[in-house]
Chains A and B, each alone.
Chain A
Amino acid sequence: GENVEQHPSTLSVQEGDSAVIKCTYSDSASNYFPWYKQELGKGPQLIIDIRSNVGEKKDQRIAVTLNKTAKHFSLHITETQPEDSAVYFCAASKSNSGYALNFGKGTSLLVTP
């Protein structure tokens, strides 16, 4: 099955700096790559996703890049704010009915004022 590796496991940045989280996947047939944010005591929420037919996607301060050849994708958060502090999970799957989403182990991001 799909194996997703995520790094780093913890990340501390100062407010206003950028944060980058990287993931690799094993199944070359995977074509859907979402990122989820989990705040304390809550379930994860989708913040951005990318499909294999594009290399980059942006949404305000958040961007995701995908390198299909190398089988890795990254989350970039610019101008970080304290409210960005949370655990971030990357995931990968094949976008066909019958396949589940496989998650990385998460990155705990702390943004200090």
Chain B
Amino acid sequence: GAGVSQSPSNKVTEKGKDVELRCDPISGHTALYWYRQSLGQGLEFLIYFQGNSAPDKSGLPSDRFSAERTGGSVSTLTIQRTQQEDSAVYLCASSFFGAGEKLFFGSGTQLSVL
């Protein structure tokens, strides 16, 4: 694939259910980021991976949010016991080495919690 791939593109879930969002970064990119974009709002930083480790998890809003990255590639963002305020577009981005470089964004996962 030529770009960052995110799946699913849309997810509708019921309040209280768990959801998993997946990100496939560009091959060879060591840095991976998750951002959240609420309707009409900016890009809220969630977590940053360098390889498989997360030097910066400061943006995760609560302990219901977690993320992992395996093999220095695919990342999964998990939201447990979803709440209506979790509804947003979740964007993933990757870059070769990290900060100070061009980020390549996926098209995002639109999460709707009913």
Identify which of residues 12-57 in chain B touch chain A, using a CB-to-CB cut-off of 8 Å. 31, 33, 35, 41-43, 45, 48, 50, 55-56
SS of A interface (majority) = loop
Chain A residues whose C-beta falls within 8 Å of the C-beta of B50 in the assembled complex: 97-98
Write the residues of chain B forming the contact surface with A, with a CB cutoff of 8 angstroms.
4, 31, 33, 35, 41-43, 45, 48, 50, 55-56, 58-59, 91, 93, 97-103, 105-108
* Residue ranges of A at the interface with B (Cβ–Cβ < 8 Å): 1, 6, 31-32, 34, 36, 41-46, 49, 51, 89, 93-106
Contact B33 A100 (CB under 8 A): yes
Q: Which residues of B contact A41 (CB under 8 A)?
A: 107
Q: Are B56 and A100 in contact (CB under 8 A)?
A: yes
Nearest B residue to A93, CB-CB: B99
- Verify A46–B100 contact, CB threshold 8 A: no
Q: Is the CB of B4 within 8 A of A43?
A: yes
What residue of chain B has the Cβ atom nearest to residue A6's Cβ?
B42
The 6 A-B pairs at the shortest CB distance, nearest first, are namely A95-B100, A43-B105, A105-B42, A103-B43, A99-B99, A100-B48
B56-A93 in contact (CB<8A)? no
Interface centre among B35, B55, B56, B98 (most CB of A within 10 A): B98
A102, B45: Cα distance in complex, Å: 7
Query: What chain A residues lie within 8 Å of B56 (beta carbons)?
Result: 98-100
Q: Are the CB atoms of B107 and A101 closer together than 8 Å?
A: no
Verify A101–B42 contact, CB threshold 8 A.
no
Contacts of B31 in A (CB 8 A): 97
Residues of B close to A94: CB separation below 8 A? 99-100
Whether the Cβ atoms of B45 and A100 lie closer than 8 Å is: yes
Q: In the complex, what residue of chain A is closest to B53 when comparing beta carbons?
A: A98
